[in-house]
Chains A and B, each alone.
Chain A
Amino acid sequence: MAAFTATVTVRLKSGVLDPEAETTQRALERLDFDLEDLRFADRYEIDLDAADGDAAAERAEAMAERLLANPTIHDYDVAIEAR
């Protein structure tokens, strides 16, 4: 077994309205910042032990499928690093 950190990033699918991001963008603009667009994402850093990187990725993907992401509105990606 080896130690890994799996980083799962969950973001809204393109085309799904994000009122919180729009509100945040407006607040930045009120502070006189110039920006084109703003998107939110949730990032989970998961420390785990696995036989290899593929096994770690597989487990993190299962976590995203079962709980961390909602397939109706979210896409996600998984990155694995040795810890």
Chain B
Amino acid sequence: MTVAVVRFGGSNCDRDAERALEHLGADAEIVWYEDGLPADTTGVVLPGGFSYGDYLRAGAMAARTPIVNEIAEAAADGVPVLGVCNGAQICAEAGLVPGAFTVNESARFQCEPVHLRVENADTPFTRAYDEGDVLELPIAHGEGRYEVRPDARDRIESEDRVLFRYCEPDGTVTEAANPNGSRENVAGVLGERASTAVLMPHPERAALPDLGGLDGQGILAGLTP
């Protein structure tokens, strides 16, 4: 029963994720990418950071390492996989979720709290919430603008695979609440299965009582027993 938090060179939210998961009762373990997934892996977190210094494109290099093939196989078997920030970029680059995360509309790194509306509560990562609930989580990224081709956009909408949208505190989805220019305010999206999810905001930074805000706990609960 191990939740593998996969560390690449340049990951920097791995310890935060491990600590938050342990706090929630998971048996979390930081796994160096070259070592592969532990045999008893019951969940996978791809944490935030700047793997490979964001060379080529954020997440591009990490997405092509052998452990990502293992993660893709685990995801296909229904093992919960959560990509956060750089982990979301890695999953998109690897094709585990549709679309791409690219340079913010502002062309700047942005570190600020945002509000998210739960669009699909029927996933392991959102079963603690109801559809329409509003969470407050921090973002910290320079490349978080979600882009998706029109055909894939139609598909994720019709298949209810948008997990979160940036919104106002009252849940209204507006352009002003979109911090980075993401298409349709998408902040998180699902893979082929609802047990594969990515988001740019950081649930692990809103999961411990002494860090202000606990809205991320429900997302991480998708990985706990």
Cβ–Cβ contact A23 & B56, under 8 A: no
Measured CA separation A73–B152 after assembly (Å) = 12
B106 proximal to A (CB < 8 A): yes
With both chains docked as a complex, state the minimum distance between the C-beta of B198 and any C-beta of chain A, in angstroms: 14
Chain B residues with CB under 8 Å of chain A are: 56-57, 60, 64, 92-93, 98-100, 102-107, 145, 147-149, 152, 181
Chain B interface helix/strand/loop/mixed: loop
Using A16-B147, A17-B145 as known contacts, say yes or no to A70 and B103 having CB atoms under 8 A apart. no
- Closest 6 CB pairs between A and B? A19-B107, A72-B100, A23-B107, A19-B103, A73-B100, A73-B147
**Cα distance, A17 to B57, chains bound together (Å):** 16
Mask: chain A, 1-42; 1 = CB below 8 Å from B; 0 = not: 000000000000000111110110000000000000000000
Chain A residue numbers with a CB within 8 Å of B93 are 70
- Shortest CB distance B150–A (Å): 10
Residues of A within 8 A of B107 (CB): 19-20, 22-23
CA distance A18 to B201 in the complex (A): 22
Which residues does chain A contribute within 8 Å of B181, judged by CB atoms? Answer: 17, 19
Q: How far is the CB of B161 from chain A (nearest CB, A)?
A: 15
